[in-house]
Amino acid sequence: MSVANLPFIHSRFASLDLGMLATSFSLLRLPKMPELRDKQLPNFTPAGPEIDIHAISFKDKTREAARQKRLAAELAAGGKNAKQIKAEQRAAERISKQKERRATEIAKGRNPNKKKGKQAKVSTHFFVLLDSLFAVYQSK
């Protein structure tokens, strides 16, 4: 490729909607690369902490075995990526437990959104106060 074609490629790359492109490829998160480091992608929403990306396995058994081996080595090394992986796994586990608790509350016929204890008292007190202020406002 000649040097003369490079400005054309860079101008086309700048006008490309990377967020929409990543969404069309069903990416869970963007790759870590210098070109994407400072970019804001409005049309892309990365996977939330409820999805444990490291638990998604390859369909091919040999690739999955190699991935598991590489992941175990990375976790054993204890570097920056290992801390990030463990934090993501803990967040995914916490959210899955919350979803399970919510499902059991619903299965038992309870309202999981109902506030309990001090929060319920504060919110009912707030609404009583708000109602009385509204009544005073309407009387004027």
**Residue-level pLDDT at 124:** 65
pLDDT class of 9 with cuts at 50, 70, 90:
low
Element containing residue 105 per DSSP (H, E):
helix 80-107
Domain ranges of the chain: 1-46, 48-113
Helix axis angle for 61-77 and 80-107, nearest 10°, is: 110
State the Cα–Cα distance between residues 18 and 56, nearest whole angstrom. 24
Residue-level length of the chain: 140
Does the pLDDT of residue 27 top 80, yes or no? yes
Q: Residues 89-112: what's their mean pLDDT?
A: 83
- Give the mean pLDDT of 47-71: 86
Residue 10, pLDDT score: 63
Mean pLDDT is lowest, of 5-14, 27-36, 49-58, 95-104, for: 5-14
Taking CB atoms within 8 Å and a gap of at least 24, the contacts of 29-36 are: 29/53
Segment 104-110 mean pLDDT: 82
- Does 139 have pLDDT greater than 80? no
Q: Which pTM value belongs to this model?
A: 0.47
> Which residue has tokens 């058994």?
61
Greater confidence (95 vs 122) lies with 95
Q: What mean pLDDT is predicted for residues 26-39?
A: 82
DSSP type of residue 108: T
pLDDT of residue 47: 82
